């Protein structure tokens, strides 16, 4: 299939581009390179440096490239920033996405794969999290993702759009050959920060809270390999053939790992201690978030290849060794 990957130069999008090629599809990348990295995409691929909300440009690309499916990864995703600057998030994550959807409908492209998030659940009432739990985001980031989920439902009903919204847990790791990986600026994610603390590239890690009601007092998260996420996005294609299909899936391994558990894994894989200290809780962090992904496993035959933290960290370590400072700017 000809697939427009919006945000294809970002962390998850760039991995999906590679997985699409591996599965025999033809990705076309659109990215404005605000957070994405040109070097994360092979130079010979079709690449458009454009804004997803530039409706006329996007419409032209959809037609010129004979796009059949659009995958949308391009979102602002810093939770704290979304609290302090909500309009930035609403303009990009909601308004620009609506222009993208309008361009698609106008061009007759009616298959859409959307990056959503477990942040749409807010502080869940029970664990593990199934798709049936109520969605009540506690920050603007989660709310913008939920707003698009709801818009998609309406478009499926009104215009026969077929879509899948994937609610990610903690995307982690890197492509297995170490050629592409995680590089955020600023970096706020646990695994790259722990690796950089171990190698001395950054200061000691601060563990945000050790007084949570969890076995070791630190937060539990569900780290899922970025290539496993990508494979689910491709596995859903055939389900989108029926007009008006509306699908929602949690994507996680179901295995909770604590912050101290991640530190232990990084120490084992790198062979270096991770200098760390305990710091106050970070605002907005729920004690535990992990997925029940039975629905994706059953309906998409999705079987995550990486089911525990150490092999995931090993891929992140391989990427780090190849490019300690990430992509050149």
158 exposed, middle or buried (CB, 10 Å; 0-12, 13-18, 19+)? exposed
Nearest residue to 329 via CA among 42, 47, 33, 41: 33
Per-residue string for binding with ligand UDP, 167-186, x by CB under 6 A? ---x----------------
Residues 190, 234, 274, 291: which binds ligand UDP (CB under 6 A)?
A: 190
Q: How far is the CB of 190 from ligand UDP (least distance, A)?
A: 4
Q: Which is nearer to ligand UDP, 221 or 318 (CB)?
A: 221
Q: Which is nearer to ligand UDP, 188 or 303 (CB)?
A: 188
Q: Which is nearer to ligand UDP, 126 or 277 (CB)?
A: 277
Q: Sign (positive/negative) of CA torsion 95, 100, 101, 105?
A: positive
What phi, psi does 288 have (nearest 5°)? -145, 140
Nearest residue relative to ligand UDP (C-beta): 219
Element (H, E) at 55: helix 55-64
CA distance 167 to 314: 24
Q: Which is nearer to ligand UDP, 161 or 220 (CB)?
A: 220
Q: Is 141 a catalytic residue?
A: yes
Q: How far is the CB of 288 from ligand UDP (least distance, A)?
A: 9
Which residue spans within the chain are E strands per DSSP? 2-6, 26-30, 47-48, 69-72, 111-117, 162-168, 170-172, 205-208, 220-221, 223-225, 246-251, 257-258, 276-279, 288-289
Q: How far is the CB of 118 from ligand UDP (least distance, A)?
A: 8
Residues 109, 205, 266, 313: which binds ligand UDP (CB under 6 A)?
A: 205
Establish if 206 lies at the interface with ligand UDP (CB under 6 A).
Answer: yes
Residue numbers at the binding site for ligand UDP (CB under 6 A):
170, 188-190, 193, 205-208, 219, 221, 259, 282, 285
């Amino acid at each position: 299939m000809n697939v427009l990957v919006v945000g294809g130069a970002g962390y998850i999008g760039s991995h999906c581009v590679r997985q699409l090629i591996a599965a025999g599809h033809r990705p076309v990348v659109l990215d404005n390179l605000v957070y994405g990295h040109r070097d994360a995409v092979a130079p010979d691929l079709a690449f458009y440096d454009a804004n997803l909300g530039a409706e006329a440009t996007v419409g032209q690309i959809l037609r010129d490239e004979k796009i059949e499916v659009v995958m949308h990864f391009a979102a602002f995703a810093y939770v704290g920033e979304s609290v302090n600057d909500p309009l930035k998030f609403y303009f990009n994550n909601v308004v620009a996405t609506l222009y993208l959807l309008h361009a698609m409908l106008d061009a007759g492209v009616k298959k859409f794969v959307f990056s959503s998030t477990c942040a749409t659940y807010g502080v869940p009432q029970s664990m593990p999290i199934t798709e049936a739990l109520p969605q009540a985001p506690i920050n603007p980031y989660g709310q913008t993702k939920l707003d698009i989920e709801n818009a998609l439902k309406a478009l499926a009903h009104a215009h026969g759009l077929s879509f899948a919204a994937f609610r990610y847990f903690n995307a982690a790791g890197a492509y297995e050959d170490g050629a592409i990986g995680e590089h955020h600026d600023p970096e706020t994610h646990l695994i790259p920060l722990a690796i950089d603390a171990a190698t001395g590239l950054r200061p000691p890690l601060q563990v945000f809270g050790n007084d949570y009601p969890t076995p070791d007092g630190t937060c539990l998260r569900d780290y899922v390999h970025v290539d496993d996420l990508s494979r689910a996005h491709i596995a859903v294609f055939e389900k989108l053939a029926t007009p008006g299909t509306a699908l929602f899936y949690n994507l996680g391994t179901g295995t909770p790992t604590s912050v101290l558990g991640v530190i232990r894994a990084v120490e084992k894989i790198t062979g270096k201690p991770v200098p760390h200290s305990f710091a106050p809780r970070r605002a907005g962090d729920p004690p535990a978030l992990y997925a029940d992904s039975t629905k994706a496993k059953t309906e998409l035959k999705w079987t995550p290849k990486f089911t525990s933290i150490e092999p995931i960290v090993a891929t992140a370590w391989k990427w780090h060794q190849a490019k300690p400072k990430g992509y050149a700017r």
